[in-house]
Amino acid sequence: MAVWTCSGTPLVTPLNVLRASQPMNSLGSCCRLFRQTLLANQAQLAGLQATTRRAYALPKAALSRRSKEAAVVNGDGAEENKAKALEQVMKDLNSRFGRGTVMQLGNAEPQKMECIPSGALTLDIALGGGFPKGRIIEVYGPESSGKTTLALHAMAAVQRAGGTALLVDAEHAFDAQYSKRAGLDTEKLMLCQPDSGEMALEVVDQTVRSNAVDIICVDSVAALVPRAEIEGEMGAHQVGTQARLMSQALRKLTANASKCNCTILFLNQLRHKVGVVYGNPEITSGGQALKFYASVRLEVRRKLTVEDSAGVGIGIKVKAKVVKNKCAPPYKIAEFDIMFGSGISSLGCLLDAAEGVDVVQRKGSWYSFGDQKLGQGRDKTMAILAESKDMQSEIEAKTRAALGQTDINDMYDKEAIDTDAEDSDAVSELEA
């Protein structure tokens, strides 16, 4: 027998009533008889009404509570609650991992990107001020293109500023006499000639974490030979050993270099991929990791040979292209002279840049600065500038100001157009 209950109290079912009176014909007659039964028992009717009211009241109360919670989140006081929650999270993280783990950038001290001069004015402009401190830099190019000379001038600039430089000479080809002529103080220079790639990168890592060195130059990545390759037989295949070594080292060096504000300069060589018909077959050694971890990638190539009046080569003109730059706009071009035996010609670079932006005018073979004639010929003009430091500083200031208002690539485009025009005029004169 089916029994209907209200709060655990059994009610008289319509089924019993129907059985006592007449058979059940429909659901409607059943409900009517059940209503009549409840009306006859007023106590049970009152209990059923109270239970029904409570059942309807519970969902309404839950809905009201959720509405209030949503109002707190989305309405008044939402920003205050979010700020308190964020402050508490930052406090917990800083107490767990150390002060400054998570900080609001507006409350931190303003940090200006410090740069190391490269020794060439045009290259400093192309890099956005020079080599950035606390970053990893890759300089690559063909043989005898000026990679080591560029690194020596950067280390010399750090020494002149009172810093410490470390040279990791993995190629075992360090020339102390040439380094002195390039401006490097070899007596204060720290030199390491490692036996293996693991030793070289371990020296770099520990030196960076000491927070006592300002710039480290690794010459070169191609000479970082893994220990397994050294201990193995000649001709044995060591697939990807150097790439894995560089990838593991760079994962550690990137964060440490940034924290200790130490610049790591990797010099790299070029190799050729086999079987490339279309596109550039050149590739740098050491795997792909250095391309991603480097903040600046600089490609240097020899453009032409600088000759004296007798036709004897006395230097090279280098064209540098900023392939990647996270600190300034990339794809800038710079040209400068590297003289045999002395390194980068800073005065020649300054004179060429000043002429390119019309700070110094050249008519024929005579150079002039404003209304003052400097000298006849490039070499004599450079000698005059070397003697007059005040004039040299004034020309450099005006040249930097002019290059700061224009793109340095436009200067070289203008020079190329002028050179083509001069060549066409010369050909026309010969034909006439």
Predicted confidence at residue 26, as pLDDT, reads 54
Predicted confidence at residue 419, as pLDDT, reads 62
CA atoms of 11 and 4, how far apart (whole Å)? 5
CA atoms of 199 and 226, how far apart (whole Å)? 9
> Coil, strand, or helix at residue 56?
helix
CA atoms of 48 and 55, how far apart (whole Å)? 11
Specify the length of the chain in residues.
Answer: 432
- Using N-to-C axis directions, what is the helix angle for 78-97 and 42-74, rounded to 10°? 70
pLDDT in tens, 184-238: 999 999 999 999 999 999 999 999 999 999 999 999 999 999 999 999 888 888 8
> Coil, strand, or helix at residue 316?
strand
Check pLDDT > 70 for residue 417: no
pLDDT in tens, 142-170: 999 999 999 999 999 999 999 999 999 99
Unique residue bearing structure tokens 């409570």: 54
- Using N-to-C axis directions, what is the helix angle for 241-260 and 197-209, rounded to 10°? 10
CA atoms of 355 and 111, how far apart (whole Å)? 35
Predicted confidence at residue 24, as pLDDT, reads 47
CB 325 within 8 A of CB 128: yes
Predicted confidence at residue 79, as pLDDT, reads 82
pLDDT in tens, 17-65: 444 444 445 555 666 665 666 566 666 666 666 666 655 554 555 545 5
Which residues are within 8 A (CB) of 352 and not within 5 positions of it... i.e. 6 or more apart? 122, 335, 336, 337
Predicted confidence at residue 132, as pLDDT, reads 96
CB 392 within 8 A of CB 384: no
CA atoms of 53 and 163, how far apart (whole Å)? 83
pLDDT in tens, 323-366: 999 999 999 999 999 999 999 999 999 999 999 999 999 988 89
> Could you give the C-alpha distances from 24 to 15, 17, 19, 21, 41, in angstroms and in order?
8, 10, 8, 9, 22
CA atoms of 91 and 101, how far apart (whole Å)? 10
Reading the block at residue 43, the tokens are: 């106590």
**pLDDT band (50, 70, 90) for residue 82:** confident
